[in-house]
Amino acid sequence: MGQILVIVESPAKSKKIQTILGSNYRVAASVGHMRDLPPRDLGVDLETLKPTYVVSEGKSQVVSNLKRLAGMSDEVILATDPDREGEAIAWHLKVALRLPDDVKRVSYQEITRDAIMKAMANPGRIDMKLVAAQESRRVLDRLIGYQVSPALSSKANLSLSAGRVQSVAVKFVVDREREIQAFQPRGYNVCTLRLAGHPNVSASLDMTPFVPKDERLWKASDAQPFAGPQRVKLVKVEKKPNAVKPKSAFTTVDLQGVAGKIFGLSAKEVMAAAQTLFEQGLITYHRTDSPNLSDEGIAKIQSYLSGQGVPIADQVVRHKSKGDAQEAHEAIRPTDVSAATAGQTDTEKNVYSLIRERAMLSVMPNGIDAVTQYVFQSERRVPGLSGRPVNPMYMAKGSVVQEKGWRAYAKLERIKSKDTPLPLLEQGRIYDGSVAAVQKTTEPPSRYNEQTLIKALEAKGIGRPSTYAQIMENIKNRSYIEPKPGSGKSPAFVPGKLGYYIVDALSRFSFMSYTYTRAVEASLDKVARGSMSYVGLVRPVSDQLTSDIAERLEAESLALKGRCPGCDQPIIQKHRKGSGRGKGRSQGSRAFWVHIDDAHAAACVQYLNDEHDAPVLPPPEVTSPCPQCQATLIRRYSKTGSRSPYWAHAERGDGDACGVKFFPDVDGQPVIPEPIPETKCVDCGGIMKKRKNSKTQQPVWVHVAKKPSCGNLFIDDIDGVPANAAKKA
């Protein structure tokens, strides 16, 4: 038998699987996607909707190497991740490497010997339905990103970005902020019964007979008929045990939320740590919608717990998956639960600890609380909604922990279970009591933080677990949403100025509707099941998008406008691409101004400087003959730091011929720079030049070669010579 080539995504994963499979296999990595839509073009034919793929930037050498390895191997097996993205990567590998249609595809949920060998023994084929679903998502995102973004940017006179899910995520934050701003606090009254001689009994009024649904006792006069001393009869006593079920093992979104709450980690940090843990074979696949462990996973954990003398459930709680759960993976768990710690960094260790604890708790026995409920009927008669007199009812509830169950073993996610016992009272007996009306005030809805925003998106069926981390990074980095100062380690979000702008500009676009976006996600699931075609999904979305761009974009220019201080003609502020507008504006270093009319620019100056959002004419151009070659020099200014002047040749070719590119400025005139001292390194013989450390301004010797054979690119200066030469002298 010859060698078999197995292709996975990451080098770290390839090393782990190589140790499992042995010398008969060669495991290589594609380093993620090999092919994608072109980075600078739409890459989708708007007539046929056929996408055009190119080898991803920087991947040509990887493709060539894998082709070479495939040609040297008797067989190729594709072993990418077990989800739509992994299926698409496998298909792109097949095409790029010109592999046969029946190339083997293996799938595994964890990188352990048993799982890998089982996968190798049961290969399948590439699931083209999953590939079509991933392609549909990729094309939809491209159509919106590459068509809406330019139209939006053109209107705004500013580089902006729209996205099928990211713009909707910004809308969540904007809508919530406007809800908070529009909120008007309103006072209401809460009526509570207390029994004479029994201070632990606090019973709340059942308002159902007296106010409509979702209404309250808004006015003090509404609560007055209930208040004051009165006799009450205990008409109902209910005592029963209440099972407190353990939480499920982690889904992707739950893990992101809890890790953010406890450790203050971003979704990106959580996913990066989980990816590393998975590649090292320490946890099962970390992109999952399922809250349930596999039977095999349950058996492994229960066996370990039993060996440790920890109780396990007779029947493990099965949790209901979301109706639109996409991937059929089990919940996240350790591959070896006996390993109490795992991971290299603190973040990896913390994430692993959360995963391990949740997985173990999920198979432990329920907690049991003894719950008591008393219902009291007042002697008062108060008019109800129908106008007829009603005896008000008050309910008190207490509980006492009988068995902690899984709660006894929760360390990271601490469970607050305080006993609230009720005194032993006799049903049918009449008690003296008093009802107090306490005024409270309605509170506005809470702002989203990263964890609650992801939860809200998931609840609406918008986006998928594998996409949330990147979406959060995108909208934060572009200042579409911003952390509210002083709101803790997991800060609340408020919309940025550009966030408001994007949401308002795109408010009439179909993809900004929560229900529309959820319907698209459901259609992607249909494509994955084979009940809808790629074109059947993408065509109507593309047509709707074309109509929305033409008819429903409501935007105006965000760019500042003014008058040129030189010619008084209209000018507009611009920003250098990739600068990060908010950051650039605050520093005043990335903005500049241009004339709106090119003819005005020709008669004045083409570019004006920006100082605190105001246009400033650039310094007049000053020239001087080169002191070395007599060609023309122009006085320029550094763009950062001190903005000090220097001189450079007007024509680049003159600088090359002269041999000196830049001249220092002394009293407004160029001077020939002092020659740079040179010497040979006593260790490797390489040429070194004397420079100044830009931070300390201390002299230092720098090798001309970027990788000197002595290994020391920088060598300190001692009395005018390199330190290594001084020591040998």
Say which DSSP state 320 is in: P
Interval 657-667: pLDDT, tens: 888 888 999 98
Q: What is the Cα–Cα distance from 249 to 356, expressed in whole angstroms?
A: 9
One domain for residues 259 and 355: yes
The answer to the question of residue 164 being in a domain is: yes
One domain for residues 10 and 109: yes
18 touches 69 (CB < 8 A):
no
The answer to the question of residue 91 being in a domain is: yes
Q: Would you place residue 138 in the very low, low, confident or very high pLDDT band (cuts 50, 70, 90)?
A: very high
The pLDDT assigned to 279 comes to 93
Higher pLDDT, 575 or 606: 606
One domain for residues 569 and 532: no
Q: Using CA of residue 355, residue 357, residue 359, residue 362, what is the dihedral sign?
A: negative
Residue range 288-310: mean pLDDT, rounded: 94
Q: Using CA of residue 463, residue 467, residue 468, residue 471, what is the dihedral sign?
A: negative
Which of 365, 394, 429 is the last residue before a domain boundary?
365
Task: Please check the confidence at residue 696 and state whether its pLDDT lies above 80.
Answer: no
Task: Please check the confidence at residue 319 and state whether its pLDDT lies above 90.
Answer: no
The most confident of the ranges 336-350, 562-576, 705-719 is 336-350
User: Using CA atoms in the order 507, 512, 513, 516, what is the torsion angle rounded to 10 degrees?
Assistant: 140
One domain for residues 567 and 606: yes
The answer to the question of residue 107 being in a domain is: yes
The pLDDT assigned to 619 comes to 79
The pLDDT assigned to 262 comes to 93
One domain for residues 706 and 611: no
Number of separate domains in the chain? 7
Residue 47: give the domain boundaries: 4-126
Which of 397, 422, 441 is the last residue before a domain boundary?
441
Q: What is the Cα–Cα distance from 580 to 482, expressed in whole angstroms?
A: 14
Which of 365, 391, 410 is the last residue before a domain boundary?
365
Helix (H, G, I), strand (E, B) or coil at 689: strand
Interval 661-684: pLDDT, tens: 889 999 889 999 888 899 999 988
Tokens representing residue 238 in the block = 């209910």
Residue range 69-84: mean pLDDT, rounded: 93
The pLDDT assigned to 588 comes to 36
Residue 679, classified by CB atoms within 10 Å of its CB into exposed (0-12), middle (13-18) or buried (19+), is middle
The answer to the question of residue 132 being in a domain is: no
The answer to the question of residue 497 being in a domain is: yes
Tokens representing residue 325 in the block = 């759960």
Ranges 108-112, 328-332, 423-427: which has the least confidence:
328-332
Amino acid residing at 643:
R
The pLDDT assigned to 583 comes to 35
SS (H, E, C) 541-601: HHHHHHHHHHHCCCCCCCCCEEECCCCCCEEEEEECCCCCHHHHHHHCCCEEEEECCHHHH
The answer to the question of residue 470 being in a domain is: yes
Say which DSSP state 24 is in: T
Tell me whether residue 285 is one of the annotated catalytic residues: yes
Task: Please check the confidence at residue 417 and state whether its pLDDT lies above 80.
Answer: no
One domain for residues 437 and 504: no
Round the average pLDDT of the chain to a whole number and report it: 91
Contacts of residue 222, defined as CB under 8 A and 6 or more positions apart, other chains included, come to 189, 211
What is the domain-level CATH number for residue 402? Answer: 2.70.20.10
Residue range 186-210: mean pLDDT, rounded: 96
One domain for residues 37 and 90: yes
Say which DSSP state 484 is in: P
710 torsion bin: left (phi>0), alpha (psi -120 to 50), beta (else)? alpha
The answer to the question of residue 131 being in a domain is: no
The pLDDT assigned to 322 comes to 61
Q: Would you place residue 709 in the very low, low, confident or very high pLDDT band (cuts 50, 70, 90)?
A: confident
Say which DSSP state 200 is in: E
Interval 521-579: pLDDT, tens: 999 999 999 999 999 999 999 999 999 999 999 888 888 889 999 999 999 988 775 44
Amino acid residing at 690:
K
The pLDDT assigned to 2 comes to 64
The pLDDT assigned to 281 comes to 93
Q: Would you place residue 133 in the very low, low, confident or very high pLDDT band (cuts 50, 70, 90)?
A: very high
- Provide the percentage of residues in the chain whose pLDDT is more than 70: 96
One domain for residues 279 and 386: no
Residue range 257-286: mean pLDDT, rounded: 94
Interval 479-499: pLDDT, tens: 999 998 876 678 999 999 999
The pLDDT assigned to 32 comes to 85
| Residues linked to residue 383 through DSSP beta bridges, in sequence order | 389
The answer to the question of residue 517 being in a domain is: yes
One domain for residues 303 and 171: no
One domain for residues 29 and 81: yes
Catalytic residue among 108, 285, 394, 534: 285
Higher pLDDT, 235 or 618: 235
One domain for residues 428 and 495: no
Higher pLDDT, 484 or 590: 484
Say which DSSP state 129 is in: H
What is the domain-level CATH number for residue 45? Answer: 3.40.50.140
Helix (H, G, I), strand (E, B) or coil at 339: coil
φ, ψ at 698 (rounded to 5°)? -85, 145
pTM assigned to the model: 0.79
Helix (H, G, I), strand (E, B) or coil at 66: helix
One domain for residues 34 and 80: yes
The pLDDT assigned to 100 comes to 94
